[in-house]
Chains A and B, each alone.
Chain A
Amino acid sequence: GEDVEQSLFLSVREGDSSVINCTYTDSSSTYLYWYKQEPGAGLQLLTYIFSNMDMKQDQRLTVLLNKKDKHLSLRIADTQTGDSAIYFCAESRGSSASKIIFGSGTRLSIRP
Protein backbone atom coordinates (compact mmCIF):
# COMPACT_ATOMS: atom_id res chain seq x y z
CA GLY A 1 0.00 0.00 0.00
CA GLU A 2 1.33 3.41 -0.84
CA ASP A 3 1.04 4.80 2.67
CA VAL A 4 0.90 1.67 4.76
CA GLU A 5 4.22 -0.11 4.99
CA GLN A 6 5.26 -3.51 6.23
CA SER A 7 8.33 -5.64 5.86
CA LEU A 8 7.80 -8.33 3.27
CA PHE A 9 9.05 -11.41 5.10
CA LEU A 10 9.34 -12.81 8.61
CA SER A 11 10.62 -16.22 9.63
CA VAL A 12 10.19 -17.56 13.16
CA ARG A 13 10.69 -20.88 14.90
CA GLU A 14 7.63 -22.84 15.88
CA GLY A 15 6.64 -22.02 19.45
CA ASP A 16 8.31 -18.60 19.42
CA SER A 17 6.44 -15.31 19.26
CA SER A 18 6.05 -13.52 15.94
CA VAL A 19 5.91 -9.75 15.79
CA ILE A 20 4.73 -8.16 12.57
CA ASN A 21 5.16 -4.42 12.28
CA CYS A 22 3.36 -1.79 10.24
CA THR A 23 3.66 1.95 9.81
CA TYR A 24 1.01 4.22 8.37
CA THR A 25 0.91 7.89 7.49
CA ASP A 26 -2.67 9.09 7.88
CA SER A 27 -3.11 10.46 11.41
CA SER A 28 -6.88 10.63 10.90
CA SER A 29 -7.19 6.87 10.53
CA THR A 30 -10.03 5.71 12.73
CA TYR A 31 -9.58 1.96 12.67
CA LEU A 32 -6.55 -0.21 12.04
CA TYR A 33 -6.85 -3.83 11.05
CA TRP A 34 -4.90 -7.03 10.70
CA TYR A 35 -6.02 -9.43 8.00
CA LYS A 36 -4.65 -12.90 7.29
CA GLN A 37 -4.41 -14.47 3.83
CA GLU A 38 -3.70 -18.17 3.54
CA PRO A 39 -2.44 -19.58 0.23
CA GLY A 40 -5.06 -19.54 -2.50
CA ALA A 41 -7.66 -17.87 -0.31
CA GLY A 42 -9.15 -14.46 0.32
CA LEU A 43 -8.37 -12.27 3.30
CA GLN A 44 -9.82 -12.91 6.73
CA LEU A 45 -10.07 -10.31 9.45
CA LEU A 46 -8.00 -11.31 12.47
CA THR A 47 -8.52 -8.31 14.67
CA TYR A 48 -8.88 -4.55 14.62
CA ILE A 49 -8.20 -1.69 16.97
CA PHE A 50 -9.85 1.69 17.31
CA SER A 51 -7.45 4.58 17.08
CA ASN A 52 -8.02 5.74 20.67
CA MET A 53 -6.78 2.41 22.05
CA ASP A 54 -3.20 1.43 22.76
CA MET A 55 -3.54 -2.29 23.00
CA LYS A 56 -5.94 -5.09 22.26
CA GLN A 57 -5.52 -8.71 23.20
CA ASP A 58 -7.39 -11.66 21.79
CA GLN A 59 -6.12 -15.10 22.82
CA ARG A 60 -2.70 -15.51 21.16
CA LEU A 61 -2.93 -12.18 19.36
CA THR A 62 -1.82 -8.85 20.81
CA VAL A 63 -2.16 -5.62 18.86
CA LEU A 64 -0.16 -2.59 19.93
CA LEU A 65 -0.83 0.87 18.56
CA ASN A 66 1.53 3.80 18.93
CA LYS A 67 -0.50 6.62 17.47
CA LYS A 68 2.23 9.20 17.95
CA ASP A 69 4.66 7.20 15.82
CA LYS A 70 1.87 5.81 13.59
CA HIS A 71 3.11 2.32 14.31
CA LEU A 72 1.00 -0.80 14.61
CA SER A 73 2.19 -4.26 15.53
CA LEU A 74 0.71 -7.72 15.73
CA ARG A 75 2.21 -10.23 18.11
CA ILE A 76 1.34 -13.90 17.73
CA ALA A 77 2.28 -15.90 20.79
CA ASP A 78 3.36 -19.56 20.51
CA THR A 79 3.47 -19.45 16.71
CA GLN A 80 2.18 -22.60 15.04
CA THR A 81 2.60 -23.98 11.51
CA GLY A 82 -1.02 -23.02 10.85
CA ASP A 83 -0.04 -19.38 11.32
CA SER A 84 1.93 -19.48 8.06
CA ALA A 85 0.25 -16.90 5.86
CA ILE A 86 0.50 -13.34 4.61
CA TYR A 87 -0.56 -10.75 7.17
CA PHE A 88 -1.93 -7.45 5.97
CA CYS A 89 -2.08 -4.31 8.01
CA ALA A 90 -4.82 -1.89 6.94
CA GLU A 91 -6.22 1.48 7.93
CA SER A 92 -9.61 3.03 7.33
CA ARG A 93 -9.72 6.47 5.78
CA GLY A 94 -12.09 9.09 4.57
CA SER A 95 -14.65 11.26 6.30
CA SER A 96 -16.96 8.31 6.62
CA ALA A 97 -14.07 5.89 6.91
CA SER A 98 -15.37 4.45 3.69
CA LYS A 99 -12.08 3.19 2.35
CA ILE A 100 -9.51 0.75 3.64
CA ILE A 101 -5.89 1.01 2.56
CA PHE A 102 -3.89 -2.18 2.81
CA GLY A 103 -0.19 -2.60 3.39
CA SER A 104 1.91 -4.78 1.13
CA GLY A 105 1.60 -7.78 3.43
CA THR A 106 4.18 -9.67 5.50
CA ARG A 107 4.75 -13.30 4.61
CA LEU A 108 5.21 -15.26 7.84
CA SER A 109 6.99 -18.58 7.57
CA ILE A 110 7.48 -21.02 10.41
CA ARG A 111 10.68 -23.06 10.92
CA PRO A 112 10.52 -26.35 12.79
Chain B
Amino acid sequence: DTAVSQTPKYLVTQMGNDKSIKCEQNLGHDTMYWYKQDSKKFLKIMFSYNNKELIINETVPNRFSPKSPDKAHLNLHINSLELGDSAVYFCASSRGGAGGGNEQFFGPGTRLTVL
Protein backbone atom coordinates (compact mmCIF):
# COMPACT_ATOMS: atom_id res chain seq x y z
CA ASP B 1 0.00 0.00 0.00
CA THR B 2 1.26 3.45 -0.85
CA ALA B 3 2.39 5.33 2.24
CA VAL B 4 2.22 8.89 0.88
CA SER B 5 0.10 9.39 -2.21
CA GLN B 6 -0.47 12.47 -4.32
CA THR B 7 -2.98 13.26 -7.04
CA PRO B 8 -2.69 14.05 -9.80
CA LYS B 9 0.70 12.77 -10.90
CA TYR B 10 0.77 15.16 -13.85
CA LEU B 11 -1.03 18.46 -14.20
CA VAL B 12 -0.90 20.62 -17.32
CA THR B 13 -2.83 23.86 -17.22
CA GLN B 14 -3.02 27.38 -18.61
CA MET B 15 -1.67 30.48 -16.94
CA GLY B 16 -4.22 32.17 -14.72
CA ASN B 17 -6.07 28.99 -13.79
CA ASP B 18 -6.64 27.72 -10.25
CA LYS B 19 -5.65 24.16 -9.41
CA SER B 20 -5.33 21.84 -6.43
CA ILE B 21 -2.99 18.99 -5.60
CA LYS B 22 -4.03 16.45 -3.00
CA CYS B 23 -1.89 14.48 -0.60
CA GLU B 24 -2.76 11.68 1.76
CA GLN B 25 -0.62 9.59 4.10
CA ASN B 26 -1.66 6.35 5.75
CA LEU B 27 1.29 6.14 8.12
CA GLY B 28 -0.41 7.77 11.09
CA HIS B 29 2.13 10.59 11.01
CA ASP B 30 1.51 13.91 12.73
CA THR B 31 3.48 16.16 10.40
CA MET B 32 3.07 16.78 6.69
CA TYR B 33 4.99 18.96 4.25
CA TRP B 34 4.90 20.45 0.80
CA TYR B 35 8.13 20.90 -1.16
CA LYS B 36 8.77 22.43 -4.56
CA GLN B 37 11.49 20.99 -6.79
CA ASP B 38 12.48 23.14 -9.72
CA SER B 39 13.99 22.09 -13.04
CA LYS B 40 17.48 22.10 -11.55
CA LYS B 41 16.32 19.64 -8.88
CA PHE B 42 16.63 22.24 -6.15
CA LEU B 43 14.22 21.22 -3.38
CA LYS B 44 12.69 23.82 -1.14
CA ILE B 45 10.19 23.50 1.67
CA MET B 46 6.99 25.49 1.27
CA PHE B 47 4.75 24.51 4.17
CA SER B 48 4.60 22.17 7.11
CA TYR B 49 1.59 21.15 9.19
CA ASN B 50 1.60 19.35 12.51
CA ASN B 51 -1.75 17.90 13.57
CA LYS B 52 -3.59 20.19 11.15
CA GLU B 53 -1.75 23.25 12.46
CA LEU B 54 0.55 25.30 10.23
CA ILE B 55 4.08 25.33 11.67
CA ILE B 56 6.25 26.31 8.71
CA ASN B 57 5.27 28.83 6.10
CA GLU B 58 8.21 29.81 3.96
CA THR B 59 8.27 32.82 1.69
CA VAL B 60 5.67 31.54 -0.69
CA PRO B 61 3.27 33.75 -2.68
CA ASN B 62 -0.21 34.12 -1.22
CA ARG B 63 -1.52 32.38 -4.31
CA PHE B 64 -0.46 29.14 -2.63
CA SER B 65 -2.76 28.02 0.15
CA PRO B 66 -2.37 24.73 1.98
CA LYS B 67 -5.34 23.09 3.65
CA SER B 68 -5.29 20.25 6.13
CA PRO B 69 -8.78 18.85 6.75
CA ASP B 70 -7.30 16.19 9.04
CA LYS B 71 -3.84 15.04 9.95
CA ALA B 72 -3.77 12.44 7.17
CA HIS B 73 -4.37 14.97 4.41
CA LEU B 74 -2.58 18.10 3.26
CA ASN B 75 -3.82 19.67 0.06
CA LEU B 76 -2.25 22.50 -1.88
CA HIS B 77 -4.37 25.00 -3.76
CA ILE B 78 -2.77 27.39 -6.20
CA ASN B 79 -4.59 30.44 -7.55
CA SER B 80 -3.78 32.38 -10.72
CA LEU B 81 -1.08 30.00 -11.89
CA GLU B 82 2.06 31.52 -13.40
CA LEU B 83 4.73 30.08 -15.68
CA GLY B 84 7.22 30.06 -12.80
CA ASP B 85 4.99 27.71 -10.84
CA SER B 86 5.98 24.90 -13.19
CA ALA B 87 7.85 22.37 -11.04
CA VAL B 88 7.47 19.06 -9.32
CA TYR B 89 5.63 19.36 -6.02
CA PHE B 90 6.36 16.76 -3.36
CA CYS B 91 4.29 15.99 -0.33
CA ALA B 92 5.99 14.32 2.63
CA SER B 93 5.13 13.22 6.14
CA SER B 94 7.00 12.35 9.32
CA ARG B 95 6.11 11.00 12.73
CA GLY B 96 7.26 14.06 14.60
CA GLY B 97 8.91 17.27 13.52
CA ALA B 98 11.36 17.36 10.67
CA GLY B 99 14.37 16.98 12.90
CA GLY B 100 15.12 14.56 15.68
CA GLY B 101 16.09 11.88 13.26
CA ASN B 102 12.49 11.57 12.11
CA GLU B 103 12.47 10.22 8.60
CA GLN B 104 10.37 12.09 6.08
CA PHE B 105 8.47 9.86 3.71
CA PHE B 106 7.96 11.42 0.32
CA GLY B 107 5.15 11.04 -2.13
CA PRO B 108 5.86 10.34 -5.82
CA GLY B 109 5.48 13.99 -6.77
CA THR B 110 3.10 15.98 -8.95
CA ARG B 111 4.61 17.46 -12.09
CA LEU B 112 2.88 20.77 -12.74
CA THR B 113 3.31 22.40 -16.13
CA VAL B 114 1.89 25.86 -16.68
CA LEU B 115 1.52 26.89 -20.33
Cβ–Cβ contact B44 & A102, under 8 A? yes
Complex interface: chain B residues within 8 A of A31 (CB): 99-101
Cβ–Cβ contact A92 & B90, under 8 A? no
Cβ–Cβ contact B56 & A98, under 8 A? yes
Q: Is the interface of A mostly helix, strand, loop or mixed?
A: strand
- Determine whether B12 belongs to the interface, using a CB cutoff of 8 Å to chain A: no
Q: In the bound complex, what is the Cα–Cα distance between A97 and B108 (angstroms)?
A: 25
Q: In the bound complex, what is the Cα–Cα distance between A10 and B55 (angstroms)?
A: 36
Cβ–Cβ contact B108 & A42, under 8 A? yes
Size category of the binding interface on chain B: 20 to 34
Q: Which residue of B lies closest to A102 (CB)?
A: B43
Q: Closest CB-CB distance, B106 to chain A, in whole Å?
A: 3
Q: How many residue pairs at the A-B interface have CB separations less than 8 Å?
A: 70
- Determine whether A100 belongs to the interface, using a CB cutoff of 8 Å to chain B: yes
Q: Closest CB-CB distance, B105 to chain A, in whole Å?
A: 8
Q: Which residue of A lies closest to B9 (CB)?
A: A40
Cβ–Cβ contact B4 & A98, under 8 A? no
Which residues in window 30-52 of B have CB below 8 A to A? 40-45, 48
Known contacts A98-B55, A99-B48; A45 and B103 CB within 8 A of each other: yes
Residue count of chain A within 8 Å CB distance of chain B: 27
Complex interface: chain A residues within 8 A of B48 (CB): 98-99
Complex interface: chain B residues within 8 A of A97 (CB): 97-100
Contact code string B91-109 (vs A, CB < 8 Å = 1, else 0): 0100001111101101111
Q: In the bound complex, what is the Cα–Cα distance between A41 and B9 (angstroms)?
A: 11
Complex interface: chain A residues within 8 A of B41 (CB): 37, 86, 104-105, 107
Contact code string A40-58 (vs B, CB < 8 Å = 1, else 0): 1111110010100000000
The 7 closest A-B pairs by CB, nearest first: A97-B99, A42-B106, A92-B99, A98-B97, A102-B43, A45-B103, A100-B98
